Structure 1
């Protein structure tokens, strides 16, 4: 009887797969669009935002005004300011005058929204999604939903170098688990691979651990130096809707080149973190005794990691002089970033989705995936458009705007104002046709 009831249930207007910040932002926008029936599913029992990276004193790299809704729906009850008021900390937050807000505070805000917003279903793993010719079928463990549209918000997967497969599990861990694993680095020789913000935060945390500090820290980066995040005004124009529209209109090869060229706009280390590391190194070298020794190793390409009885032996090439470098370490910390792959639950549809050369789905301006199904049945992909929409796509900066674009597409009306604001920079001689409000190009 249960299955028969499910078969006759009216289809949802949207089924969201995954409840991270991006789908949470979409759900917050759709909460203001009354005519749509939506449901969001997540396999975790409750909301958690990068719990493994909640190290002491880490801060957000973007303004708290770039929250779930404020850029496109500032009167929403789900804004960061609404969170401060609801939790009676508005004045204390202002008086604290954070130069950059604690990441733990933003995580608390996201969890507050997730606990309060309706139509979110946790502890609900989507096992398979198929298409019956009219609707998507979304199969969970104990029930099945039909949906006219999908929103994929499952996030990225840790990028693990292939040579790590030969090492014992205890010899290495990804930065996404740093908060749970760093304690076992005490007294060990530790190598942190990765010169971005995550790698820098882990290095700083290791250097500040006191009695639980490692014996030695190698900080290894492929980049020619430990390079800062570029957050100057004209670079920040890359994180605006006009730039996204211009970027999307470029040929695919040019978009690939642009993403590589703009890497430090979204993946450099904050100046505050670099300064804190340098100051801590100064103190350890000149003012304190007994702290961890350190080696800063930029411009190194890790070629292999050979397993040893304890830890491993790293083989690196120095990009400055071309010489080989060998280091023996007990534990590897992989701040090697994340990679995109289609959610496994989409396996029945995978062959029908148009992928680019990196394995990401090709997206229309409104973030709808190009596939061979009916145009009215859309699969919206969030955090999949690095090579279609630019470096803002994996960042928090434009998540509210992207959610508003998708909400408008679902509602088939201008529920939110997403017209391109005036920009300081003229990226193209002529703006692409049809890019207004995330329309089809």
Structure 2
């Protein structure tokens, strides 16, 4: 089946970033857009949809507000339309519950006719004569193959659970990634011991979720490689590093310098919410009143080197980083809070000749988020190495989408701030004192 319409842009993958792009494009009559996703519908990290978990960014980092505060697809309008605006007002908390953010995104997706779910992109080629992408799509509901055409595409297929290299080609029952936590929680609680590996927000949320269960449930250990359970740095001057001008500054550095700086910045985007760390301590304190022994263990400075099955359990082989000593820990269940990583979709093979790459084989992403010379292939959340730590931040979505939309339109549809920080990030003179002699 062929769809003869040539869209200005087709987005592949409907996560928060491409969903935001769809919402911002909906009122732009001069740009025709379509968005495709193989999932049945929008569902954001369902395996970690814990009751009290919140986003780590304020509610204004929704799909549209930072680009268009007047948009009907804002989080505040969602609350108004669902009779929860005054409840949110009384709550007096900028940080959205993750489960409510998911409902908000589903609400937006349901209204956007440009978003089609159950559509799997199988292959893409580029017709040099007509200058269009030809996209073969499998309709998962009826197994029909549909062909779409677009002048430009934007890849929003997102990141995938990242497992340690030693887990490659291994499928150990009861060794799971955090993305599978809630699906396995019932079985985890039946185990005699569980270990959490990781130093970020997901590890902390799961540890906190399991804490009340440890009194009569599994012995729970939390291992992390850093020398402490560190909070995400969230001071206001530090937040200026999420500014457009810092992205400019970072982008213009040599690649080797960018790598060195990223290696020092985990506390800016990989740490734990400060309040959650305190909540964990307070929970431990309350559980230990009367010197009650705790059925938990917290172990910093521990690097996991390998996992080996041992009967119905697993032997985890560690190196204590500070002591430079090896040790083994046995656990029935292991939860790997080892984050997410961008994985290139297979359908890119058909247009690989168009993709520009760095010496390391990564996308050579332009300042305005394209990866081809003709500037027809845009990417979302695939530019950590070129644009810096703010890449996966939900707060970056509306800004990046503003630049993408303006590039497609060839004019300013949405205003893109160029300078928001009080700081100067390079030696170039960008402003002068109000009164100069």
TM-score (norm 2): 0.92
- Report deviation, 1:366: 0.9
Change in 2 beyond 3 A, CA 1:172/1:214? farther
* Map of 2:342 onto structure 1: 340
* Map of 2:75 onto structure 1: 80
* Aligned-partner Cα distance in 1 for 2:341–2:126: 26
Change in 2 beyond 3 A, CA 1:359/1:221? farther
Change in 2 beyond 3 A, CA 1:413/1:168? closer
CA deviations on 1:378-425 (whole Å, 9 max, x unpaired) are 110000011111111111011101101000001111101113134211
1:361 paired to 2:358: no
* Superposition map of 1:11-160 within 5 A: 11-98=6-93, 100-133=95-128, 134-141=131-138, 142-160=145-163
- Report deviation, 1:351: 4.8
SS of aligned partner of 2:119: coil
- Report deviation, 1:164: 2.6
Unmatched segments (≥5 aa) in structure 2: 139-144, 431-437
Residue pair 1:167, 1:312 contacting (<8 A) in 2 also = no
Change in 2 beyond 3 A, CA 1:357/1:182? farther
CA deviations on 1:43-86 (whole Å, 9 max, x unpaired) are 01111111111112111111001111111111111111111111
Change in 2 beyond 3 A, CA 1:272/1:166? same
- Report deviation, 1:214: 3.8
Is the strand fraction higher in 1 or 2? 2
Unmatched segments (≥5 aa) in structure 1: 433-441
* Aligned-partner Cα distance in 2 for 1:431–1:45: 51
Residue pair 1:171, 1:312 contacting (<8 A) in 2 also = no
1:174 paired to 2:177: yes
- Report deviation, 1:230: 0.2
Residue pair 1:56, 1:205 contacting (<8 A) in 2 also = no
1:231 paired to 2:234: yes
- Report deviation, 1:358: 5.6
Change in 2 beyond 3 A, CA 1:351/1:285? farther
* Aligned-partner Cα distance in 2 for 1:357–1:237: 30
* Aligned-partner Cα distance in 1 for 2:429–2:345: 34
Residue pair 2:214, 2:295 contacting (<8 A) in 1 also = no
Change in 2 beyond 3 A, CA 1:357/1:53? farther
SS of aligned partner of 1:198: helix
Task: Choose 326-335 or 130-139, whichever is displaced more.
Answer: 130-139
Aligned with residue 285 of structure 1, among 272, 285, 288: 288
Task: Choose 171-180 or 191-200, whichever is displaced more.
Answer: 171-180
Aligned with residue 414 of structure 1, among 412, 416, 426: 412
Change in 2 beyond 3 A, CA 1:379/1:431? farther
- Report deviation, 1:347: 1.8
* Map of 1:436 onto structure 2: none
* Aligned-partner Cα distance in 2 for 1:364–1:248: 9
SS of aligned partner of 1:217: strand
- Report deviation, 1:162: 3.0
CA RMSD of aligned residues (A): 1.9
- Report deviation, 1:114: 0.8
* Map of 1:202 onto structure 2: 206
* Aligned-partner Cα distance in 1 for 2:125–2:311: 47
- Report deviation, 1:289: 5.9
- Report deviation, 1:167: 5.5
- Report deviation, 1:370: 3.1
Residues matched between the structures, number: 421
* Map of 1:220 onto structure 2: 223
* Aligned-partner Cα distance in 2 for 1:343–1:225: 36
* Map of 1:307 onto structure 2: 309
* Map of 1:437 onto structure 2: none
* Aligned-partner Cα distance in 1 for 2:79–2:149: 37
CA deviations on 1:414-440 (whole Å, 9 max, x unpaired) are 1011131342110012279xxxxxxxx
Residue pair 1:33, 1:411 contacting (<8 A) in 2 also = no
